[in-house]
Amino acid sequence: MLAIDLKGRTAVVTGGAGQLGRAMVRTLGRCGANVVVNYRSKSEAKAQELVQELQGLGVKAMAVQADVTKLDAVLAMRDAIGKVLGAPDIIVNNAVIQYDWKTILEQAPEDFESQFRSCVLHNAFMAKAFVPAMIEKRWGRVIGINTECAMQAFAGQAAYVAGKRGMDGVMRVLAREVGKHQITVNQVAPGWMISDNQRAAGTTDQPGYTKSVPLGRRGEDQDIANLVAFFASDLAAYITGAYVSVSGGNVMPTI
């Protein structure tokens, strides 16, 4: 049986202290990677808790505050990481700004701007900051967390869908631009996954949602983390430019 071995690699997870992010952080650490837990503002305590947890696994870890919608903040994060762990090999662009979903006629212009910054510019800035070192090493993994909503385009999702579709364009172009350097660029597209908040609230059962899911159930945050770890590994060395749905078949990318 093949195992995912990330020993000797360093990964950065933006929004790493968040609901899906913390599962990614833990999984990458269990696979042997050193991990940087990025947080924006309110999750410092959780980020530091994750760092201690990872260090207990025998890997190196650090928490770094940065607003990934701002280039200067991303560059400062890169420099802080470099001083402690060296240049990262893997970046997982997971952070996104939360907002209240409304119809296009009711949605504030600022919400469209926030999604552009946290989906499109976030991915562009992370590439600008971290890909050059990957090019020098001729090895790198860029993993973006997209969404099933990008394919659904349901009412009320306009700002989010616009941001994530823009992100998809950036990631596909980046995959073509950096492939010659043996750097892969892939996207993981979660469905409505179960995470710590739903477990704590007892709201994991959502029959209105699962009735449209071929597997008949909601997925777990761990399902997302598993694919992230795969994309980060040498097992996925010949996969790039992919958008992979992890939604139990709720959305199915077509050929």
CATH number at residue 166: 3.40.50.720
In a domain, 251, yes or no: no
Q: Is residue 5 part of a domain?
A: no
pLDDT at 255: 87
The domain in which residue 155 lies consists of: 10-246
What is the tens place of the pLDDT at every residue in 218-230? 999 999 999 999 9
Question: Is the pLDDT score of 1 beyond 80?
Answer: no
Is residue 3 in some structural domain?
no
Verdict on whether the full-model pTM lies above 0.95? yes
Please check whether residue 97 is in contact with residue 114, taking contact to mean a CB–CB distance below 8 angstroms: yes
pLDDT category at 3 given cuts 50, 70, 90 is: confident
Q: Tell me the mean pLDDT in the region 179-195.
A: 98
- Tell me what the pLDDT averaged over the chain comes to: 97
In this predicted structure, the answer to whether residue 42 has a pLDDT above a threshold of 90 is: no
Domain count, the chain: 1
- Answer yes or no: is 186 within a domain: yes
- Taking the CB of residue 155, how many other CB atoms lie within 10 A of it? 10
Question: For residue 58, how many other CB atoms are within 10 A of its CB?
Answer: 9
* pLDDT for res 187: 98
Active site residue 238: no
Any domain includes 255? no
Length of the chain: 255
Could you tell me the pLDDT band of residue 65, with boundaries at 50, 70 and 90? very high
From the list 39, 99, 160, 243, the catalytic residue is 160
